[in-house]
Structure 1
Amino acid sequence: MIELNHVSKMYGNVVGVNDLTLEIPTGAFGLIGPNGSGKTTLINLLIGHFRPTLGTLRVFDCDPASDRRLLRRIGLCPASDVLYPNVSAIEWVTYQVRLHGIARTESRSLAETALETVGMTDAMHRPMGTYSLGMRQRTKIAQAIAHDPDLLILDEPYNGLDPVGRNDMTRLLKEWTDNGRGLIFASHVLQEIESVTSSFLLIHGGRLLASGTADEIESLLAETPQEICLVGNDVAKLIHRFADVDWVDAMDWNQTKDELRVSLREPMEFYDRIATWIRDDRLTISQLRTPNGNLEAVFESLLRRHRGEAP
């Protein structure tokens, strides 16, 4: 679906993206990173709005900066608010579809279907200046999907949506990918990504720090320093066990809460031994909380490693 070969984008002396090399097959991928990490720059490269300063970029084996026909296969929902207050949703979405070279009558029909899909049927004839932020967001999604693209690129798509809208959006995106189409979903909120896909691209400072699937996330967690929390009447009796190994960086015992937090340099050593320790010492431990399955742990740990703060 997407191929980048040593792609960099410079804004004068500022690096937008830095030496990105990867291949992305058709599927759903979360583009994760803090604000200013390079997510929007990468999106602008994918749609041909920017040309790479260095390197080459292909989307569906086309150069997006030179082959404008490619835009027919891409649907974009930008983070910015690009709606017009005195124009109705049906007029605006119809116009966006016509820009892809589709006839007026068919464009109108496609626009109506897309607005119905995102729950905007009742309000589609009202001026968009009367819409709430969530309604405007739904309308932007409608114009992105109306021409039935092969790849949907969303930049912060949950912005302004209430809980019902978020649930509707998650269901829509899952159905989209279940139908075999591509999705690039940019967000700095990891829970939003996890609700749609377990495949992710993590960027920071314009660089790709990690990419992978759910299984690879678990592998990263197992190999990445992390903090675990043990709770129970006997957690203090584990302190001597941790003191005798060389893969524990720090411990913090809260006597009031019967809670022991342990920073692990080699988590797999801990997981291999903890059950044996509890059994042999006949301890009562009520909870063991770990970051497994949570991309936040990967994100924070890889950033520390990227900054040279962790081994």
Structure 2
Amino acid sequence: MIELNHVSKMYGNVVGVNDLTLRIPRGAYGLIGPNGSGKTTLINLLIGHFRPTLGSLQVLGTTPTSDRRLLRRIGLCPASDVLYPNVSALEWVRYQVRLHGISRRECKSLAEEALETVGMTSAMHRPMGTYSLGMRQRTKIAQAIAHQPELLILDEPYNGLDPVGRNDMTQLLKQWTRSGRGLIFASHVLQEIESVTASFLLLHGGRILASGTAQEIESILTDTPQEVFIKGRDAAKLIHRLADVDWVDALQLNHGKNELRVSLREPAEFYGRIASWIRDDNLAIDQLQTPDGNIEAVFESILRRHRGETS
């Protein structure tokens, strides 16, 4: 779906993205990173709005800056507000579809269908200047999907949506991915990514620090330092076991909660022994709380390693 070969984008002396080399098969991917990490720059490269300073890239088998027909195959929802206050949603979405070379008659039906999909049918004839932020966001999503693209690229699509709107958006994106079409979903809020897909690209400082699927996330967690909480009446009785190994950095016991917090340098060693320790010592342990499956734990662990805080 996307191929990057040593791609860098410079703004004078500022690096937007830095030497990205990556092959992404068709599927749904969360592009995760803090503000200023390079997410929007990468999106602009993918749609051909920016030309790489160095390197080359292809999207859906073609070069974005040399083949403008690619835009017919891509749907984009930018982070910026690009709506016109005196124009209705139906007029605006229909015009956006028309720009892709689709007939006038088909444009209207496609625009109406997309606005219905995002829950804007009842308001689609009103001027967009009367819309709330959430309604404007729904309208932007409608124009991104109306021409039925192969690849949907969303930059912070949950901006301005209330809880109902966020749930609706999540269901729409899940349905989109189930249809087999591509999705790149940029956000700095990890929970938004997790609700749609387990495949992620972690961008920081203009570089890809990690990428992977749900299974690879678990592998990353196992190999990176983390904290584990052991809860139960006999949690304190594990201290003598954990104090004798060199892959535990710290232990902290909360007597009131019967909870033991363990800072692990090598989590795989812990997971390989904890069950037998509990069985052999006949301990009453109610809960073992780990960060497995939580992308935020991966994010923090990899950033600590990238900054040199852990080995």
Assess same fold via TM > 0.5: yes
How many Å apart are 1:256 and its aligned residue? 2.1
Query: Structure 1 CA distance, aligned partners of 2:156 and 2:250?
Result: 37
Kindly provide the amino acid, as one letter, of the partner of residue 26 in structure 1: R
1:64 match: 64
Query: Structure 2 CA distance, aligned partners of 1:38 and 1:251?
Result: 38
Q: How does 1:103-182 map to 2 (within 5 A)?
A: 103-182=103-182
Query: Structure 1 CA distance, aligned partners of 2:292 and 2:180?
Result: 28
1:187 to 2:187 alignment:
yes
Query: Structure 2 CA distance, aligned partners of 1:214 and 1:285?
Result: 27
Query: Structure 2 CA distance, aligned partners of 1:38 and 1:241?
Result: 45
Kindly provide the amino acid, as one letter, of the partner of residue 8 in structure 1: S
The secondary structure found in structure 2 opposite 1:70 is helix
Q: Which aligned runs of 4 or more in structure 1 are off by greater than 6 angstroms? A: none
How many Å apart are 1:225 and its aligned residue? 1.0
Query: Structure 1 CA distance, aligned partners of 2:145 and 2:134?
Result: 17
Kindly provide the amino acid, as one letter, of the partner of residue 161 in structure 1: L
The secondary structure found in structure 1 opposite 2:123 is coil
Residue by residue over 1:8-29, the C-alpha shift from the partner in whole angstroms, topping out at 9 and shown as x without a partner, is: 1111111111110011111101
Query: Structure 2 CA distance, aligned partners of 1:302 and 1:137?
Result: 32
* TM-score (ref. length: structure 1): 0.98
How many Å apart are 1:66 and its aligned residue? 1.9
Between the aligned residues of both structures, percent identity stands at 82
How many Å apart are 1:143 and its aligned residue? 0.1
Query: Structure 1 CA distance, aligned partners of 2:83 and 2:249?
Result: 52
How many Å apart are 1:103 and its aligned residue? 2.0
2:275 match: 275
How many Å apart are 1:189 and its aligned residue? 1.1
Query: Structure 2 CA distance, aligned partners of 1:233 and 1:176?
Result: 47
Query: Structure 2 CA distance, aligned partners of 1:229 and 1:85?
Result: 52
Kindly provide the amino acid, as one letter, of the partner of residue 274 in structure 1: I
Structure 2: stretches of 5+ with no match in the other structure = none
Kindly provide the amino acid, as one letter, of the partner of residue 224 in structure 1: T
1:5 match: 5
Residue by residue over 1:10-55, the C-alpha shift from the partner in whole angstroms, topping out at 9 and shown as x without a partner, is: 1111111111001111110110111111111100000011111110
Query: RMSD of the TM alignment (CA)?
Result: 0.9
* TM-score (ref. length: structure 2): 0.98
The secondary structure found in structure 2 opposite 1:85 is coil
How many Å apart are 1:164 and its aligned residue? 1.6
Structure 1: stretches of 5+ with no match in the other structure = none
How many Å apart are 1:259 and its aligned residue? 1.4
Q: How does 1:35-114 map to 2 (within 5 A)?
A: 35-114=35-114
